[in-house]
Structure 1
Amino acid sequence: MDFGAWPPLRGDLASTRRCASAFFDNLPSDEGRAGTVRQNWVATWTKTGDAYYRLADLNINKLAFDEAKEAWLCALTAFEVARRLVADDDAGKAGVSAKVEAGVQRFGTALGYQVESVEITCFDGAELQAYYLPAASTGLSAPAVICVSSEEEKGATLLGRLLPVVIGRGMSVLVVSHADVLNHSRGRPAALLSHCFDYLSARPEVDISRIGVYGDALSATLATDFAVYDRRVAAAVCDGGILNWVRTSTSVGWITGIADGPAKDWISACRSRSARQLNCPILVVAGGRGVVSVSEAVKLQADCMAAYIHLDLAMPQIIRGGFGEEVENFVTADDCVFRWLKNKLTRARAP
């Protein structure tokens, strides 16, 4: 496949996301040409994002706002592809992330969408910075999701990735960064996220009975602790207590190497007990650069099934590119997560 000809500039979000997904699915593993090809891919997708921004501006000038919205979301998708390809130690990564953050700010201003920068009062009057996107107005209250970024990302970066996914799904999102949650929580991140829940509860367009949480990467652990702490959470994309369990089991030396008999039963019971504390539907995302390994997630799901606890498991497709790093197909992964959330939060509608 000739990646140098990608992607076509159509201004159609569905086509752009299919193109991005296919690009990741077909990454070659030729180590010999990885460096140059990788740089070319980054340049191609970055230029494509810039072109989509220009197309959006042209459509705005023509008052073709729907077409402008599509082009803007295409740009954010293209920039996210480029950001995934840039090496973590590459100075260019910050530049691509800055394009995403600038795009988030301009998106709301130019197209009339209410992407709001909000402050949530937490402990002792401290303010937590967050981004809020309300669901499209239908006159009815809609579900909402609190989204916590990975430990390496700003809230605006996560919002830029999620805007093409959540717009049109009939849900509001409140996005906060992992670092801000930890820095403002005074050792109580679950309690701070409860303040985020209270903020959403006060919004007239939000259905208080249908508020979920999504924790990206290491924030999956924060999502678990929050869902255990606050019984109002209606659905959680989290780690199901796996990280805390692994830490605990590792510290208990006598467990190591014991796989049979009463100890095995005790281990299984402890795993399922962590999930049982969650009072809502659970989705665990396993594999790749996330916090949950596939093996631990499969064990947890099996233990939960034995204990009649329903736990869904998602394993995003991970591609090992020729540059020796694992790359996640974020397009299919994010679609899977938010399809699941929409399904669970729709079912959670209060009678």
Structure 2
Amino acid sequence: MLCAAWPQIEGSLASTRRVAELFLEGFHGNYGALTRPSWIARWTGLAENHCVVAASNVQGGASEQAIEAWLCALTAFEVARRLADDSVPENANVSAKVDASMQTFTPLLHELERVRIVGCEQGEFHSYYLSAARPGLCAPAVICISNEDETEATLLARLLPVVIGRSTSILVVAHSSISNDWPGQSELILSCCFDYLSARPDVDATRIGVYGEGWSAVLATNFALAERRVAAAVCDGGLWNWARTQAFNDWMMNATSAIDESTLSRRRSRLARQLKCPVLVVAGGRGMVSVPEAIKLEADCAEAGVDLELAMPRMTRTSVGEFENFVAADECIFEWLGRKLTRRSAL
């Protein structure tokens, strides 16, 4: 079915993202007669074609059409990047093309700023801010923290196609900018990010959330625990801290005494109950949370009346690993954030 759908890709962002979603859901190592490198080349070529269209629209003064074509390119580049993992040489080539397109077309987004976050003990650092506010109105905002092996620009390139047009602003920061060795410093740095957003006239300070990927999900949990002003959190729900505590307990007890499930449930949900904002835990895929533990945590929190939901990105297994359907996953995450932050405004 995908081969039939491929020629129907249009210039619209919705069409490109729909075909990308179908492709990732149906990819199984080799698709039809094409090998994995062939698919990487095909998606990269599609992205480059969209960049050509975007450049042509810029020359013709059609900035809105140029932006949409570029967002199509970013989506196609991200599919190629998912296929071209670190084990294949195409990875660096795709990443370089993404960086080049970002440098060429980000000036078209007048709502996008390169901003400095100051006031932190380790000094200032830069991040990206995309405003969704309309004139005279404030919008909710989300601090988005990249995975540990990604820059803020890489995360921004993936998020732009899903967040533009929504009513939520984003501040995109790199994991390396906020991760530190000693306890508590990451929370202080993220507090600087929160204070920066709170001081902006286009941000509703009562509707600021946090979203962390991979190990950054742990940082997002710790920040939501430390900063009671956080209105919603996409994080690990405290499962990493629970796992460390459980491993320590097992070591102390030499695993000689069995612990009943009710005790485990209480320990598992202890940190989650301390979170005073709605929580979305992403299990599997880009998340570092295991699906079984996340399911148990969700059940524990439901029983305790904690507002915690679980998202499990669709995965496609291949002979060389798994691919996450990032299109569907990102839509799910930002729909959840938009819903929770909108409800927050009505309280």
Band the TM-score falls in, shorter-chain normalisation: over 0.9
Which is further off, 60-69 or 235-244?
60-69
Q: Contact (CA 8 Å) 2:133, 2:202: kept in 1 or not?
A: no
Instruction: Quote the residue 1:335 is aligned against.
Output: 331
- Residues 148-178 of structure 1, C-alpha deviation per residue, up to 9 Å, x if partnerless? 0011111100000000010011111000111
In structure 2, the CA distance between the partners of 1:90 and 1:54, relative to structure 1 (3 Å rule), is same
Structure 2 unmatched runs, 5+: none
Measure the CA separation in 1 of the matches of 2:245 and 2:208: 30
> TM-score scaled by structure 2?
0.93
1:140 equivalenced with 2:132 (yes/no): no
Q: Contact (CA 8 Å) 1:146, 1:213: kept in 2 or not?
A: yes
In structure 2, the CA distance between the partners of 1:11 and 1:163, relative to structure 1 (3 Å rule), is same
Look up the SS of the partner of 1:194 in the other structure.
helix
Q: Could you tell me how far 1:92 is from its partner in structure 2? A: 2.3
Instruction: Quote the residue 1:287 is aligned against.
Output: 284
Instruction: Quote the residue 1:120 is aligned against.
Output: 117
Q: Contact (CA 8 Å) 1:7, 1:19: kept in 2 or not?
A: no
Q: Contact (CA 8 Å) 2:285, 2:324: kept in 1 or not?
A: yes
Q: Contact (CA 8 Å) 1:151, 1:178: kept in 2 or not?
A: yes
Q: Identify the match of residue 83 of structure 1 among 81, 84, 104.
A: 81
Identity among equivalent pairs (%):
53
Measure the CA separation in 1 of the matches of 2:288 and 2:76: 26
Measure the CA separation in 2 of the matches of 1:90 and 1:205: 43
In structure 2, the CA distance between the partners of 1:44 and 1:8, relative to structure 1 (3 Å rule), is farther
Instruction: Quote the residue 1:20 is aligned against.
Output: 20
Instruction: Quote the residue 2:230 is aligned against.
Output: 233
Regions of 4+ moved over 3 Å: 1-9, 183-187, 254-260
1:200 equivalenced with 2:197 (yes/no): yes
Instruction: Quote the residue 2:296 is aligned against.
Output: 299
Measure the CA separation in 1 of the matches of 2:122 and 2:288: 32
Which is further off, 143-152 or 125-134?
125-134
Measure the CA separation in 2 of the matches of 1:207 and 1:171: 10
Look up the SS of the partner of 1:348 in the other structure.
helix
Q: Could you tell me how far 1:60 is from its partner in structure 2? A: 1.6
Q: Contact (CA 8 Å) 1:136, 1:168: kept in 2 or not?
A: no
Instruction: Quote the residue 2:102 is aligned against.
Output: 104
What is the RMSD computed on CA atoms of the aligned residues? Answer: 2.3
Look up the SS of the partner of 2:339 in the other structure.
helix
Look up the SS of the partner of 1:349 in the other structure.
helix
Look up the SS of the partner of 2:35 in the other structure.
helix
Q: Contact (CA 8 Å) 2:141, 2:170: kept in 1 or not?
A: yes
Count of residues in Structure 1 that have an aligned counterpart in Structure 2: 345
1:347 equivalenced with 2:340 (yes/no): no
Instruction: Quote the residue 2:10 is aligned against.
Output: 10
Structure 1 unmatched runs, 5+: none
In structure 2, the CA distance between the partners of 1:17 and 1:37, relative to structure 1 (3 Å rule), is same
